[in-house]
Structure 1
Amino acid sequence: MTDKLPQKQRLLSLDVMRGATVAAMTLVNNPGDWDHTYAPLEHSVWNGCTPTDLVFPFFLYMVGVAIVFAMETRKEDPANHGHMILVAFRRMLSLWAISWIIQLFFHHDTPPEVTGFWSKVGYVLGHLRLPGVLSRIGLVFFICTILYLKTTQKTRDWLMAFALIGYYVIMTFVPVPGIGPANLKPETNIGAWLDRLVFGVNHLWRESHTWDPEGLLGTIPAIGTCLFGIRVGTWLKRTDTEPGTKVSWMFVYGVLAVILGLIWDLFFPINKALWSSSFVLYTGGLATIALALSYWMIDVQGRKKGVWFFVVFGMNAITAYVVGDVIGSVLDFIPTGQGVRLMGWINRDICMKLFSPYNASLARAIIYVFISWIPMYWLYKKKIFIKV
C-alpha cells in the first residue's frame, strides 16, 4: 500500500457517506405506507439495532470527523477560538430554530375543536416538540466544538470513556424519583423522567408524550458518538502516516468497538432510543469500518464512478435533510384533479398500481428521495453550499 493521496485533497469519502446517510434518512422517513414497510427500514421497537437505527449515529459520527477537517488549521491559533465557538453557538441556535419552524409550518396537527388561526397557533406552540434530531445535532456539535478546540485528544478519549461509563451508571443504578429502582423501560427510565421534568409532557415526542428518543440525558452518550468521529478524523488528518496504515488501524478500531459494544450489550442493551453506551460503541465501530472502506476506495484508489449522486446530498447535508423533511408537505399543496394531492397521487396511481403493497411503499420512498435530490443538485451545480 503506497501513499498517493495529496495532503490538500478534500475528503470525498466523507461527503459520500454523509450524502448516503441523508438519502437513507429521507428514505426511511417517507414510506408510502407505514403499515407496509420492510423490517430493515424500520427502527427497532426497543432493544436491538436495524439498518435504520444506524443512520442517525452515523451522521453524528461524521459531524465529529467534519469538525476536525473544518477546524484543524484555524485551531492552531488560540486567537481564533472565541470566534469559532461563537459560530458554533449560532449554528446550534439555527438548528434549533429550523427544527421548531418545520414543526410550526409543516408538521403540526390540531384537534377539530381547536378553531381560529390564533387558537391553532397557541395549540401548536403549546405542543411543540423541543428535543429532536436537528436539536441534538446542534447541541452535540456545539459542545464537541468546544472540546475539540480546548482539549487534547488524550483528554477527549478520557471524556468519551467517562461519558459512556457515567451514562451506564446513571441509567442502571440511580433510582428514578417517584417511580422506583433504575430501569431501562421507555416511560419509566430516568432519562424519560428528566425529560418530563424539564420539557413537560406536551413538548416531547408526539407518538408517546411520556418520553423522547432524542431526550436530554441521551445527549451525554451522543457526545461520545461525535467524539468517536473526532478521534477518527484526527487519525485521518495525520500527515506522518500512509493511507494504507490509516485504513488498517481504522478497521482494527472499528472491529474492536463493535466487539466491545456487543459485550456491553449483554448488560446494557444496544438501544437507539436510549442511545445506550453499547449502542455508541457498536454504531461507532460500524461507522469507522464503513469510512475506512470508503476512504480507501474513493480517496486513495480514486474509484469515484457513481458517487456523485451522494456527493450532491453530502455537500449540503443539513439542507438536504431539511428539504427531505418538508418537500412532501410542499408538494401536497399541488392539486392533481384526481381527488388527492401530488404525493398521494404518485403513491396511489403509480406505485400501488405497479407493485405489491410493500414494494409500492418502498417505490414511493425511493421516488421521494429523487424528488428531494433535485433541488440539492441545483444548489450543487450553482456551487451554493449552505452552512447552517
Structure 2
Amino acid sequence: MTSTQIKTQRLLSLDVFRGATIAAMILVNDPGDWGHIYAPLEHSKWDGCTPTDLVFPFFLFMVGVSVVYAMESKKTTVPHGKLLLSALRRTAILIAIPWITQLIFHPDGGLAHLRLPGVLPRIALVYFICTILYLKTSQKTRDWIFAFTLIGYFIIMTCIPVPGVGYANLKPETNMGAWIDRLVFTTNHLWRESHTWDPEGLLGTLPAIATSLFGIRVGSWLKRKDRDDNVKVSWMFTYGVIAVVLGLIWDLFFPINKALWTSSFVLYTGGLATIALALCYWLIDVQGRKRFTYFFVVFGANAITAYVLSGYIPHYMGMIKIGGASIYQTLFAPYFSPINASLVSAIFTVAILWLVMWIFYIKKIFIKI
C-alpha cells in the first residue's frame, strides 16, 4: 500500500454514498453479540432482501461508478497496459489481505483450511474484470454483456442439472454454484459456517460483475457533459425505478437472493442504488446541501482501508479487559437490554473506526491499494 494526497476534484456525493455504505457494512459486521441483533441488521435467511443485504451490492455498484471516474481521462492518455498492470496489482493485494488476516487470527487452521472466496476477493475480481471491460469495450457492448450475464446466469442456475444431484435447484448446498465451489476450492477452503457452499462463491461472481457494470452505466451517465443536472437526476430515478420493478417481476421466477446473487437481486439492488445515488447527487452536488456529509466523507475517502481495519480493530478491542471483563461486558451489557447492548456496541465500533479514518483524513492521507 502507498499513501498519497488526493489532488483532483472529487464528486462529493460519490464519497458520501461510498462512506455511508462502508459505515453500514461495519455496523452489521460487528455487533456486540451475534445472538442478539435487530432483524433489519441481519441478512436474509435465504430468499428475500433486508437492508443489510443492500450493503455489499451497493458497494460493488460504487466500484463500477468509481471505475468511470478514475479511468475516463486516463483511458485516452495512459497506455492501457499500464492501467491494467496497476489494476492487477490492486487485485492481488485485495485478494491477499483476507488470506493474511485469516492466518493471523486463525493460525490453527493454517493453509489447509484457508477460506479462498470472500468479500474482498469478490471485490477484487469484479474490479479487475470491470476495469478491463471499461477500457476495452464500448458502452453498447457492456450493455449486451450485462444482459447476457443475467440471462445466462438464470439459465445455468435454473435449467442445468447439478452433477450428483440430478436436477437444477436453488438450495444452499445443492445448487450449481455450490457444486462448482466444492469442485474448484474443495470443502476445506469454503465458508467456515458451512464448508459445503460459500456466499461469495465463484459462479456468483458473474452476476456480481453485472452489478458493477450497472454502476459503470450510471457513472458514464453522470459524467456526460451534454446533459443538464436535473435531466441526469430525473433519468437516474427513472432507470432505478424500472430496474426495481423488473427485479421484483423476475423475483417471481428467480427469487431475490443475496447468497446466490440472483439476476433479480442484481436488478433490484442496482435500481435502489441508482435511486440512492441520484438522491445524494441532487442534494449534495446540485443543491449544495453539504452539512451532513462530513461524517460519511471521512469513511468514503478511505473506504477499503476502513473495511480492512474493521477486521482488525474490533478483534483487538475484544482483547482489552477492564476489571477482568471485556469492553462489551463492562460498558454495554449491564446498562442495556441484550439487543440494544449489541447495537450500541456496534455503533461504538463504527465510531472508533471513524476516529481512525478522521485522523487519516485531516492529515490528508488517503491509502491507495
Counterpart of 2:284 (choices 298, 301, 309) is 298
- C-alpha displacement at 1:326, in angstroms? 1.2
Paired residue type of 2:38: Y
- C-alpha displacement at 1:226, in angstroms? 0.3
Alignment of 1:181-200 (within 5 A): 181-200=167-186
Corresponding residue of 2:56:
56
- Mapped to 1, the partners of 2:315 and 2:9 lie a distance apart of 39
Corresponding residue of 1:357:
338
- Mapped to 1, the partners of 2:19 and 2:97 lie a distance apart of 20
Corresponding residue of 2:16:
16
1:264-299 C-alpha deviation (Å, 9 max, x unpaired): 000100000000000000000000000000000001
1:193-224 C-alpha deviation (Å, 9 max, x unpaired): 00000000010000000000000000100000
Corresponding residue of 1:124:
110
- Mapped to 2, the partners of 1:306 and 1:224 lie a distance apart of 31
1:10-58 C-alpha deviation (Å, 9 max, x unpaired): 2111100111111101000111111110000000000000000000000
- C-alpha displacement at 1:9, in angstroms? 4.8
- Mapped to 2, the partners of 1:81 and 1:367 lie a distance apart of 43
Counterpart of 1:378 (choices 359, 363, 369) is 359
- Mapped to 2, the partners of 1:321 and 1:88 lie a distance apart of 19
1:363-388 C-alpha deviation (Å, 9 max, x unpaired): 00000100111111111111111111
Corresponding residue of 2:189:
203
- C-alpha displacement at 1:225, in angstroms? 0.1
Alignment of 1:304-343 (within 5 A): 304-336=290-322, 338-340=323-325
Counterpart of 1:260 (choices 224, 246, 262) is 246
Corresponding residue of 2:102:
103
- Mapped to 1, the partners of 2:86 and 2:13 lie a distance apart of 25
Paired residue type of 2:168: A
- C-alpha displacement at 1:150, in angstroms? 0.3
* 3-state SS, counterpart of residue 334 of structure 2: helix
Paired residue type of 1:128: L
1:315-343 C-alpha deviation (Å, 9 max, x unpaired): 0000000111210112234333x223xxx
Paired residue type of 2:141: T
Structure 1 range deviating more: 8-17 or 205-214: 8-17
Structure 2: any 5+ residue segments left out of the alignment?
1-7
1:121-177 C-alpha deviation (Å, 9 max, x unpaired): xx3211110000000000000000000000000000000000000000000001111
- Mapped to 2, the partners of 1:150 and 1:23 lie a distance apart of 33
Q: Which runs of 4+ in 1 moved over 6 A?
A: none
- 1:369 maps to 2:369: no
Identity, in percent, stands at 69
Paired residue type of 1:141: Y
User: Residues 335 and 35 from structure 1, CA distance in 2 versus in 1: closer, same or farther, beyond 3 angstroms?
Assistant: closer
* 3-state SS, counterpart of residue 213 of structure 1: coil
Corresponding residue of 1:112:
none
Alignment of 1:86-165 (within 5 A): 86-106=85-105, 108=106, 120=108, 123-165=109-151
Corresponding residue of 2:4:
none
- Mapped to 2, the partners of 1:227 and 1:91 lie a distance apart of 19
Paired residue type of 1:33: D
- 1:82 maps to 2:81: yes
Structure 1: any 5+ residue segments left out of the alignment?
1-7, 110-119
Paired residue type of 1:374: L
Paired residue type of 1:339: G
TM-score between both structures, scaled by the size of structure 2: 0.96
Alignment of 1:218-257 (within 5 A): 218-257=204-243
TM-score between both structures, scaled by the size of structure 1: 0.92
Paired residue type of 1:267: F
- Mapped to 1, the partners of 2:324 and 2:181 lie a distance apart of 42
Paired residue type of 2:87: A
- Mapped to 1, the partners of 2:216 and 2:79 lie a distance apart of 19
- Mapped to 1, the partners of 2:178 and 2:142 lie a distance apart of 27
May I ask how many residue pairs the two structures share in their alignment? 362
- CA-based RMSD of the aligned residues comes to 1.1
* 3-state SS, counterpart of residue 386 of structure 1: strand
